[in-house]
């Protein structure tokens, strides 16, 4: 079989993600960004669980601030993972100042609509519960939930 005959999914299934895992531990932000992009691409195209677990692990261990959440979200939103979206929303709801990050919140809402959580068989209730118990103001909670229900 020629290399030209191999589907891209088969090639990506054989990618060794070890170097990306090492790059995630780097102090160099560009290396981390490239590793997140690579893992997101592999996860999206092949549905490999090991690359999704690497993204979740990185998020849980390394992401602590609003700026880090925004960076992680920007680099991994192509995955369209409800699990990652839930983790991000869980953390976003713990920051009272999330309302000052309107671009992130709007981008995240668009991301949730692209994932089509309700159509993928995942309940919307855990997402709504997070927002209802957020540290946000009542107006922001209400607006987020209204926009969330629109999709």
Kindly list the domain boundaries of the chain, sorted by start residue: 1-62, 66-151
Cβ within 8 Å of residue 69, ≥6 positions away: 63, 88, 91, 92, 104
Please report the pLDDT score of residue 149 as a whole number: 75
The CA-based angle 107-8-45, given to 5 degrees, is 30
| pTM confidence score | 0.83
Closest-CA residue to 36 (of 45, 49, 24, 48): 24
CA distances from 143 to 21, 84, 102 (A): 38, 22, 12
Please report the pLDDT score of residue 4 as a whole number: 67
Q: Determine the Cα–Cα distance for residues 131 and 125; give it in Å rounded to an integer.
A: 10
Please report the pLDDT score of residue 120 as a whole number: 66
Closest-CA residue to 21 (of 46, 50, 54, 49): 54
Please report the pLDDT score of residue 111 as a whole number: 87
Q: Long-range contact list for 98-104, CB < 8 A, 24+ apart?
A: 98/66, 98/134, 98/136, 98/140, 99/136, 99/137, 99/140, 101/66, 101/70, 104/66, 104/69, 104/70, 104/73
Taking the chain (151 residues) in consecutive chunks of 10 residues, what is each chunk's mean pLDDT? 67 79 92 94 86 94 93 92 91 88 88 72 83 90 84 61
């Amino acid at each position: 079989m020629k290399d030209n005959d191999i589907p891209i999914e088969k090639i990506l299934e054989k990618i060794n993600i070890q170097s990306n895992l090492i790059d995630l531990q780097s102090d160099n932000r560009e290396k981390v960004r490239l590793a997140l992009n690579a893992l997101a691409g592999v996860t999206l195209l092949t549905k490999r669980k090991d690359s999704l677990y690497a993204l979740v692990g990185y998020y849980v261990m390394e992401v602590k601030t609003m700026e880090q959440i925004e960076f992680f979200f920007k680099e991994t939103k192509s995955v369209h993972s409800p699990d990652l979206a839930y983790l991000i929303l869980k953390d976003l709801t713990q920051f009272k100042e999330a309302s000052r990050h309107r671009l992130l919140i709007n981008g995240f809402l668009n991301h949730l609509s692209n994932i089509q959580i309700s159509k993928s068989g995942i309940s919307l209730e855990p997402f709504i519960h997070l927002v209802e118990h957020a540290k946000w103001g009542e107006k922001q909670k209400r607006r987020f939930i209204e926009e969330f229900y629109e999709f």
